[in-house]
């Protein structure tokens, strides 16, 4: 083979190889796989807690479920971030500024909360941004049966002057005026302030009270800088997150001072464990008195 012919053969083979290579690349370009990876690895949208709220819902047993939501500006409803099919009315009780995490009332089993506050209460540092998956993980933590944002009260102290004791002659509960959720309620076209005083040993129960005046009358007194109406409230009923809970029928106000030791009175406050002990002793005494009363009536 002549040298010129050799070069021609080599050139022909080279061009053939290039052509074949080009055709393969066009049919299955090497970069296709890279583009495919990028298309399926779409970056999730991120959220800040300040832009989100939480909805809490309780079931018949008082168990809580929490959902991160954002408001739909068109429908004014709240939509779940982790489950977009879930929507909640914008008229649900708003607890965002109250510092409480549910309404202790089975008739008001849904409420809007401050997502930042509950995350902090759960003991988690607040991040700048959260993905949908990270929000779902937080929800699963909040929705755990054992999760209770009110456990901090077990380490709290309670001023004696803020405590009051209510019972029905068979059992008593102790309340602290500082653990009170005020809400507005409209019944038969009259709106008034209602007060839920949480049972300090069970925050899923409360005493529902009111001031005995309408919201309009209350506002008039406030304009006159007259807040004396707040010194008296009327018990409406006992409430609970538990549907079917048996409520008290008759109410009696007990003097807490009668059940305190001299040491407790001198220090001016009691511990959570001491409140539990007081309730236990009083209830046992009431139960014993009921047994004696029944025996005398025989």
Would you say how long the chain is, in residues? 298
b/e per residue 34-50 (b: at least 16 CB within 10 A):
eeeeeeeeeeeeebebe
- What confidence tier does 74 reach under pLDDT thresholds 50, 70, 90? confident
Q: What is the largest CA-CA distance in the chain?
A: 134
Eight-class DSSP state of 43: P
pLDDT digits (tens, 9 = 90+) for 94-110: 999 998 999 999 999 99
Task: Please list, in sequence order, all residues whose beta carbon lies within 8 angstroms of the beta carbon of residue 137, skipping any fewer than 6 positions away.
Answer: none
Q: Summarize the confidence of residues 207-213 as an average pLDDT.
A: 95
pTM for the whole thing? 0.79
Q: Are 68 and 82 in contact (CB under 8 A)?
A: yes
Q: Summarize the confidence of residues 113-130 as an average pLDDT.
A: 86
**pLDDT (0 to 100) of residue 289:** 58
* For residue 32, pLDDT beyond 80: no
Q: Summarize the confidence of residues 167-187 as an average pLDDT.
A: 92
Beta partners for residue 206, in sequence order:
198, 239
**pLDDT (0 to 100) of residue 255:** 92
**pLDDT (0 to 100) of residue 42:** 57
Q: Are 77 and 88 in contact (CB under 8 A)?
A: yes
How far is the C-alpha of 166 from the C-alpha of 237, rounded, in Å?
11
In 156-231, the DSSP E strands lie at 157-159, 163-167, 172-187, 190-199, 202-210
Q: What does pLDDT average to over the chain?
A: 82
State the DSSP H helix or E strand holding residue 33, giving kind and residue range, or none if neither: helix 32-40
**Range with lowest mean pLDDT among 34-43, 103-112, 128-137, 278-287:** 34-43
**pLDDT (0 to 100) of residue 169:** 80
- Out of 13-22, 27-36, 247-256, 273-282, give the one with best mean pLDDT: 273-282
* For residue 132, pLDDT beyond 60: yes
How far is the C-alpha of 206 from the C-alpha of 238, rounded, in Å?
6
């Amino acid at each position: 083979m002549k040298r010129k012919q050799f070069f021609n053969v080599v050139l022909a083979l080279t061009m053939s190889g290039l052509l074949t290579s080009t055709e393969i690349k066009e049919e299955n370009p090497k970069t296709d796989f890279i583009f495919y990876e990028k298309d399926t690895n779409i970056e999730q949208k991120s959220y800040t807690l300040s832009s989100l709220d939480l909805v809490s819902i309780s079931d018949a047993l008082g168990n809580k479920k929490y959902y991160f939501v954002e408001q739909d500006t068109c429908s004014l409803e709240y939509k779940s971030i982790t489950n977009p099919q879930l929507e909640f009315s914008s008229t649900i009780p708003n607890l965002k500024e109250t510092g409480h995490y549910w309404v202790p009332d089975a008739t008001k089993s849904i409420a809007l909360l401050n997502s930042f506050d509950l995350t902090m209460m759960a003991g988690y540092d607040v991040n700048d941004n959260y993905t949908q998956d990270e929000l779902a993980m937080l929800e699963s933590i909040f929705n755990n049966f054992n999760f209770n944002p009110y456990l901090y009260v077990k380490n709290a102290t309670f001023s004696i002057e803020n405590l009051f004791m209510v019972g029905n002659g068979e059992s008593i509960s102790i309340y602290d005026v500082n653990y009170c959720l005020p809400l507005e309620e409209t019944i038969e076209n009259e709106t008034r302030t209602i007060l839920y005083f949480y049972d300090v040993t069970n925050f899923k129960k409360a005493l529902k009270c009111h001031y005995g005046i309408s919201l309009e009358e209350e506002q008039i007194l406030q304009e006159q800088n007259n807040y004396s109406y707040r010194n008296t409230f009327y018990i409406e009923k006992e409430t609970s997150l538990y549907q079917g809970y048996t409520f008290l029928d008759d109410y009696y106000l007990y003097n807490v001072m009668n059940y305190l030791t001299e040491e407790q009175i001198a220090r001016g406050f009691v511990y959570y464990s001491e409140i539990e002990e007081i309730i236990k002793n009083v209830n046992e005494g009431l139960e014993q008195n009921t047994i004696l009363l029944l025996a005398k009536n025989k």
